[in-house]
Structure 1
Amino acid sequence: MNNETNKLIPELRFLEFVKDGEWKIETLGNLSKEIVEKTKGRKFKLMSITSGLGLISQLEKFGREIAGESYKNYYVIHKGDFAYNKSSTKLFPEGEIALYDDEVVGAVPNSIFTCFRFDINRIDPKFAKYPFINNLHGNWLKRFIAVGARANGSLQVNNKDLFSVPFAYPSLQEQRKIASCLSSLDELINSCTHKLEILKTYKKGLIQNLFPHGNEKVPNLRFKEFEKDQEWEYLNGNELFEPISDKNHNSDLPILAITQEQGATPRNLINYNVVVTEKSIESYKVVEVGDFIISLRSFQGGIEYSNFKGICSPAYIILRKKKAISVNQFYKHYFKTDLYIRNLNKNLEGLRDGKMVSYTQFSEIQLPNPNPKEQQKIADTLTSLDDLIREKTNKIEELKLHKKALMQGLFPKI
């Protein structure tokens, strides 16, 4: 938007439209019509909404279709129609508006959706979806929704307020150019996301084959140079790792947050802010690079590896390898296998959720301890995959940030 003249002109514009002047602005109600057609029992594709993903089939979301007597009152939607879901989510606190882009005729519950169809002679639906992704409607509707109304997720939104949303738009030609640009970026993001999922699936399958199953002593998949080696040795946890309680520090080391997603990471790197006193920090334990921290509280696998030197709460148990012949990165991956987590859970039967796992309980579980060279080979292979996954994840985040910035520039501020 041109701040000097306060006109409806975007900051970024394709060259062929630079001289087109201001965008028009009208209410959603003037540009679209509410859809009131109901199924009346006719069979259509049942749709639901997933925050951030838009409209997806109930079969895909729930594994089955969920509709009872009320199905006859469901709204019928066609390709190019929009559905507003009157449920508050973290991403869309005032509800989400999604484009229906399926050739098959769909149906959505009339109790939680308001549906509408744009006049395609003025608005291209593929263009229109992007202002809603930017939460155009939410920024408008928040003035009509009481603060407490979002508490249980269900929103009381008057259709009159929804259809009063101000909607800015340029010529159809410019709309299509913008839609084409952003949809190409969406396709690239989707392609990268698909490749990321393939990598994650491949890693999961590889882990299942690089470590023995159940009571087996040899993995299904073994690197050629180790095929003739003996069976893997198994030792109790306390034979490989010992608890460390080193509090010899000047409180100048970074405080580590222990999470299942990030492992042991300095709090300032992940915006994890917890107020602690200088006195309490004195009792914190030193964590060295390569240490493991038992953080299991919810029985989902929580023995975390530290890539950083720092300090952590004395509530955590820090593990350090005893034997120079064991490879830390090998156990970093092993502690995240389904097999180890199942074994750990068996050992925890009877404990209440939320109770810290003790070193004794950790010690009672046998751990594989193959040839150090084989450990290193497995660790290097899985770490290389982790690097690829991290690289692909970062690429996706960069693309999403680029898209967000592009959308802010391609649409004028209202």
Structure 2
Amino acid sequence: MREQEQIAECLASIDVLIDAESEKLNALKDHKQGLMLELFPIKLETLPKRRFPELQDPEGWVEKPLGEVADYENGKAFEKDIEEEGDFIVVNARFISTDGKVRKYSNKRYCVASRDDVLMVLSDLPKGRALAKCFLVDKDEKYAVNQRVCRLTAHAIDSTFLYYALDRHPFLLAFNDGLNQTHLSKGSVLECPIAFPLDEKEQAKIVSVLMSVDEQIRSQTLKLEQLKVHKRGLMQQLFPVLEEVQV
């Protein structure tokens, strides 16, 4: 009986740690969400709530349709060309929505993305969490873009700034009526309003702030995952002992 109590206490202490680290992760995500509301203009506003004193260009911010600041290309169909291993990671909605954890591969050179391209999900189920979610390409010759995902190449603003400005943009989310599957058209995407500061240094500063928070989120996510793996390992070791005690 005492051994069972010790096992229960051990697992309970890990659960307490997991809950605490989960709260930290949620707090970081909330913090990022708050920063996004401060660093980008909200609806009907021309300037964000928060600006950097040393970078307040008198020309301020402008708003332009996405089609004026980036080039657009639709992804290609890879369903018949998927391999267990391949030269390219196929970027589909599942890949983007899981932050790259679920992967498929292909050797076909269809719509190969370049570093700093922004890839965005065009289709999702009603009330889904993938619609208009974006992925920033980190390397040349690594990713191929699947259908129902578009490739955007920034030419008038910083590409990482575009990634943050466009990711789950309210204009695009408004096409989801909550009843039917949503398919964003090329025309709708290119009409999406993108607000940005004319000063490239201010764009870079905003990117720096958000990338710093994202790095904290990645680190905290990894810490939480490691705790969960540790718990699973302990359970695999301890439950056989528990069975022996019960015999």
Contact 1:292–1:303 under 8 Å retained in 2:
yes
1:198 deviates by 0.9
CA distance in 2, matches of 1:394, 1:180: 24
**Which of residues 52, 59, 75 in structure 2 aligns to 1:230?**
59
DSSP 3-state at the match of 2:230: helix
CA distance in 2, matches of 1:297, 1:347: 10
- Residue equivalent to 2:79: none
DSSP 3-state at the match of 1:317: strand
Matching of residues 313-392 of structure 1 within 5 Å? 313-314=146-147, 316-323=149-156, 326-336=157-167, 340-341=169-170, 343-346=171-174, 353-355=181-183, 357-370=184-197, 371-392=199-220
1:190 deviates by 1.2
CA distance in 1, matches of 2:56, 2:18: 41
Unpaired stretches in structure 1, ≥5 consecutive residues: 1-170
Q: Quick one: structure 1 residues 238 and 228, their matched pair in 2 at CA, closer, same or farther if it must change by over 3 Å?
A: closer
Question: Partner letter of residue 200 of structure 1?
Answer: K
Which gives a bigger RCO, structure 1 or 2 (Cα 8 Å, sep 6+)?
A: 2
1:400 deviates by 0.8
- Residue equivalent to 1:398: 226
Question: Partner letter of residue 368 of structure 1?
Answer: A
Q: Quick one: structure 1 residues 310 and 228, their matched pair in 2 at CA, closer, same or farther if it must change by over 3 Å?
A: closer
Is 2:137 aligned against 1:306? yes
1:396 deviates by 0.8
Q: Quick one: structure 1 residues 348 and 194, their matched pair in 2 at CA, closer, same or farther if it must change by over 3 Å?
A: closer
Q: Quick one: structure 1 residues 347 and 185, their matched pair in 2 at CA, closer, same or farther if it must change by over 3 Å?
A: closer
- Residue equivalent to 2:97: 261
Q: What's the CA shift string for 1:19-74, capped at 9, x where partnerless?
A: xxxxxxxxxxxxxxxxxxxxxxxxxxxxxxxxxxxxxxxxxxxxxxxxxxxxxxxx
Matching of residues 15-414 of structure 1 within 5 Å? 171-172=1-2, 174-227=3-56, 229-244=58-73, 253-259=87-93, 260-262=96-98, 265=100, 270-273=101-104, 281=108, 284-298=110-124, 300-308=131-139, 309-314=142-147, 316-323=149-156, 326-336=157-167, 340-341=169-170, 343-346=171-174, 353-355=181-183, 357-370=184-197, 371-412=199-240, 414=243
Q: Quick one: structure 1 residues 199 and 315, their matched pair in 2 at CA, closer, same or farther if it must change by over 3 Å?
A: closer
Q: Quick one: structure 1 residues 348 and 192, their matched pair in 2 at CA, closer, same or farther if it must change by over 3 Å?
A: closer
DSSP 3-state at the match of 1:319: strand
CA distance in 2, matches of 1:246, 1:295: 10
Matched positions, count: 223
Question: Partner letter of residue 223 of structure 1?
Answer: F
CA distance in 2, matches of 1:402, 1:330: 37
Contact 1:245–1:286 under 8 Å retained in 2:
no
Q: Percent identity?
A: 28
Contact 1:296–1:303 under 8 Å retained in 2:
no
CA distance in 2, matches of 1:306, 1:185: 36
Q: Quick one: structure 1 residues 327 and 262, their matched pair in 2 at CA, closer, same or farther if it must change by over 3 Å?
A: farther
Q: What's the CA shift string for 1:191-220, capped at 9, x where partnerless?
A: 111111111111111111110011211101
Unpaired stretches in structure 2, ≥5 consecutive residues: 77-82
Question: Partner letter of residue 287 of structure 1?
Answer: A
Q: Quick one: structure 1 residues 193 and 245, their matched pair in 2 at CA, closer, same or farther if it must change by over 3 Å?
A: closer
What is the CA RMSD across the aligned residues, in angstroms?
Answer: 2.9
CA distance in 2, matches of 1:254, 1:396: 29
CA distance in 1, matches of 2:67, 2:176: 17
Answer with 1 or 2: which has the greater Rg. Answer: 1
Q: Quick one: structure 1 residues 246 and 362, their matched pair in 2 at CA, closer, same or farther if it must change by over 3 Å?
A: closer
